[in-house]
């Protein structure tokens, strides 16, 4: 069975909470061996989120495919073992405050002197330098400073947040892509390097033309609720049976097909909706017309009409919708796996993306604290 495209790569994960561990989860999904070094108290993620008998239901997923090794890095003997492990690793992934690794003698310069091919990925709130480098920074702060929160919600109300940790998860994705780029460079030169991921910069990187729109175009984007200003129709519409369906028909060809699906072909020639720019200006009126149509039909009829004309659409899914959906089932996107200390198999998202030649795998759920300490001590001590 394939272990994934990173089979043979060893990753040492230090740190806790979300951004670093999620990056470690992804590297493990792709086949890397991930040795997670935890303090005696364990990663705080073990008791975060929804709990069952004091254990996080998130832990089996975010710590999957990892080995748990308990080391007290305040103790010299444990620091020496950590150095030995890192000296034989390909990637060290850490998300402590800048300077913490140096205080333990685990900084890049010290480790690379013995392991010049080492890649060290730093994940922190504000990066390794700059006036705020030493400040603590969670994903929520990154979303605020990265420009995202200012765009989320409705203009007449304070900014809102998504129901997940976008700032942390986005930084984790950049940490993985940075690690992969550095691995590729090492194949050419044999030399490792440091990869510096700041949470707020990771969020800012997603903001498209936000600054150019302001600095060059004189437009400061504002919160616009469930719509994207100037792009219509692309909104959520309620059906007769209370289902909410997102319909995205914001190109000229798609809008023509939507008008036909609605039985309103005259809208195609209506000057308010005839062009992309006109639809953007008249989005409120257009959304009202579409809602009038969807609200008088059951969801299945709306979806059937939209599908007949090949228009992008999707229901607003709840967890119940996800586990019941035929597309999720066909692609086996929900994996259930036995997890140590949990009474039943734990569902979690499967490996993304898919690799046709060397598919990633979920080989084990998050381990109990220190489950691999003795084995790793024997191997690296």
Q: Would you say 204 and 144 are in contact if contact means Cβ atoms under 8 Å apart?
A: no
Dist. CA 221–CA 357, nearest whole Å? 43
Q: Which residues contact 65 (CB under 8 A, 6 or more apart)?
A: 25, 28, 29, 34, 361, 362, 363, 364
**Catalytic residue from among 43, 168, 196, 241:** 168
Question: Tokens at residue 170, please?
Answer: 């986005």
Dist. CA 246–CA 233, nearest whole Å? 10
Question: Tokens at residue 264, please?
Answer: 């309103």
Dist. CA 202–CA 205, nearest whole Å? 5
Nearest to 83 by CA among 52, 111, 44, 57: 111
Dist. CA 246–CA 248, nearest whole Å? 7
Tell me which long-range contacts 316-323 makes (C-beta under 8 A, separation of at least 24).
316/236, 316/243, 316/244, 316/245, 316/246, 323/347
Unique residue bearing structure tokens 């999707």: 314
Nearest to 169 by CA among 123, 121, 223: 123
Q: Is 168 a catalytic residue?
A: yes
Instruction: Specify which residues 11 forms β-bridges with.
Output: 34, 91
What residues act catalytically? Answer: 168
């Amino acid at each position: 069975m394939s272990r994934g495209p990173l089979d043979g790569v060893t990753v040492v994960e230090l740190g806790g909470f979300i951004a670093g561990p999620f990056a470690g989860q992804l590297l493990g999904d792709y086949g890397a061996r991930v040795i997670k070094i935890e303090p005696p108290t364990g990663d705080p993620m073990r008791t975060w989120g929804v709990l069952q008998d004091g254990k996080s239901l998130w832990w089996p997923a975010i710590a999957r495919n990892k080995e748990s090794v308990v080391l007290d890095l305040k103790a010299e003997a444990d620091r020496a073992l950590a150095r030995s492990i890192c000296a034989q690793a390909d990637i060290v992934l850490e998300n402590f405050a800048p300077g913490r690794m140096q205080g333990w003698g685990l900084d890049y310069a010290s480790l690379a002197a013995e392991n010049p091919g080492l890649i060290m990925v730093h994940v922190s709130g504000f990066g390794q330098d700059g006036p705020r480098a030493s400040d603590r920074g969670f994903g929520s702060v990154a979303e605020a400073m990265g420009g995202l929160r200012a765009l989320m919600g409705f203009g007449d109300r304070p900014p809102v947040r998504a129901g997940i940790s976008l700032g942390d998860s986005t930084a984790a994705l950049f940490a993985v892509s940075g690690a992969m780029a550095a691995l590729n460079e090492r194949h050419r030169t044999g030399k490792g390097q440091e990869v510096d991921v700041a949470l707020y910069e990771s969020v800012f990187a997603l903001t498209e033309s936000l600054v150019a729109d302001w600095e060059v175009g004189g437009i400061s984007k504002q919160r616009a609720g469930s719509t994207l200003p100037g792009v219509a129709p692309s909104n959520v519409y309620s059906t007769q049976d209370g289902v909410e369906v997102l319909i995205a028909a914001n190109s000229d060809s798609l809008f023509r097909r939507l008008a036909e699906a609605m039985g309103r072909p005259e809208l195609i020639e209506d000057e308010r909706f005839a062009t992309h720019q006109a639809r953007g200006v008249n989005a409120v009126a257009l959304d009202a017309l579409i809602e009038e149509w969807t609200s008088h039909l059951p969801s299945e009829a709306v979806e059937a009409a939209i599908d007949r004309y090949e228009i992008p659409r999707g229901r607003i899914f709840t967890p119940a919708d996800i586990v019941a959906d035929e597309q999720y089932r066909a692609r086996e996107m929900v994996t259930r796996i036995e997890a140590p200390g949990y009474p039943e198999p734990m569902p979690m998202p499967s490996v993304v993306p898919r690799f046709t030649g060397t598919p990633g795998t979920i080989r084990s759920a998050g381990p109990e604290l220190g489950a691999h300490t003795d084995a790793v001590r024997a191997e690296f001590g």
